Chains A and B, each alone.
Chain A
Amino acid sequence: MGEAIILDDVDRRLLRYFQSDPGASAADLAERAGLSGAAGWRRLERMREAGIIRGVEARIDWAALGYAVEVSLRIALDKGEARAFDTFLAAAREVPEVIEIQTFLGRVDVRLSVLARDMAHYQQIYRDRILALPHIADIEALMLVARVHHDEALPL
């Protein structure tokens, strides 16, 4: 990451447009923010260099690939073991159906998002791969019914 920079209202406006339309070109974003193409590009480039803009990623719809089931597993680890976190996380990364790993401060230590084609497949992953992960003290499952809202936009 580059050095911290101070953003002005125009930078924030560019980011807001970019956030709501990540496919837009730099020229498009500049025009919407009332800037020349070159001025818009310079501002975006500066925010990229400072590490504020980290890039644009494609969103994959796993359901369209046949993964109809998504389960959020909330896990408490056995903290008596000094390296419990590290060994657990390393093992969780080896499970291909795990698409997200988060760690927390709170009642939950780690959360895994797990994909499966159907409930039978989920049961198989849960028994063979998840329950085999080290240092689990407690596990709770939340099954995803629907994503009501998911743009993950920051309130700039």
Chain B
Amino acid sequence: MISLDTIDRQVLRALSEDATQSASALGRRFGLSQPAMWKRIRRLEEAGVLAGRRLKLDAEALGFGVTVFLGVKLGTKGRVSLEDFERAVRAIPEVQTVEHVLGLYDYRLRVVARDIADFERVLRRRIMTLPGVGDVEANVLLSEERRPGPLG
């Protein structure tokens, strides 16, 4: 397991806010040379800690006014294939994330829609017709914030 010092943690935190910062800019900010900073970033990438990038878009400005989280329970009738469900759910463009979970539900889905009417269409035509789908619970997202996590 990779061990992190204070500078590594600060760099991770800085990159999780803005991944486009260069090694020289980060080096200046945290008092390291460009090659030394580059080496640190490379090490974090190689250890898999820095696992890609994500574009942050304003969903609402792009016409997606509603985000809904669905808890989905698979039916118990017959044999339900997780693979079939997962393949079908991933193909729905409005489904942004699919998490396989343990507990009250089997899957947790993040779904975007233009408005509540559009969400209802996605729910009825796409989600309720998925293979094996049983109980579905919907919660409409009001706000969300990502925290820096245990980075000190």
A residues contacting B by CB (< 8 A) are: 1, 4, 7, 15, 18-19, 22-23, 50-62, 64-67, 72, 93, 96-108, 111, 115, 140-156
A77 shortest CB reach to chain B, Å:
13
**Residue among B18, B50, B138, B141 making CB contact with A55, cutoff 8 Å:** B18
Given A147-B97, A148-B100, are A107 and B139 also a contact pair (CB < 8 Å)?
Answer: yes
Given A56-B54, A104-B139, A143-B103, are A152 and B97 also a contact pair (CB < 8 Å)?
Answer: yes
Q: Name 20 extra pairs, CB < 8 A, besides A57-B17, A141-B103.
A: A15-B57, A23-B52, A53-B55, A55-B18, A55-B20, A56-B53, A56-B54, A58-B15, A59-B51, A59-B53, A72-B108, A97-B149, A98-B147, A101-B144, A107-B139, A144-B99, A145-B102, A147-B98, A148-B99, A152-B96
**Residue among A93, A107, A141, A145 making CB contact with B100, cutoff 8 Å:** A145
Query: Is B2 an interface residue when CB atoms closer than 8 A count as contact?
Result: yes
B90 shortest CB reach to chain A, Å:
5
A102–B55 contact, CB under 8 A? no
Contacts of A19 in B (CB 8 A): 55, 57
Interface size bucket, B side?
35 or more
Given A56-B54, A100-B146, A142-B102, are A65 and B61 also a contact pair (CB < 8 Å)?
Answer: no
A54–B140 contact, CB under 8 A? no
Given A52-B58, A58-B15, A108-B139, are A23 and B53 also a contact pair (CB < 8 Å)?
Answer: yes
B147–A100 contact, CB under 8 A? yes
Contacts of B140 in A (CB 8 A): 104-106
Contacts of B1 in A (CB 8 A): 65-66
How far does the alpha carbon of A54 sit from the alpha carbon of B114 in the complex, in Å?
20
Query: Is B142 an interface residue when CB atoms closer than 8 A count as contact?
Result: yes
Contacts of B146 in A (CB 8 A): 99-100
Contacts of A50 in B (CB 8 A): 61
Contacts of A100 in B (CB 8 A): 144-147
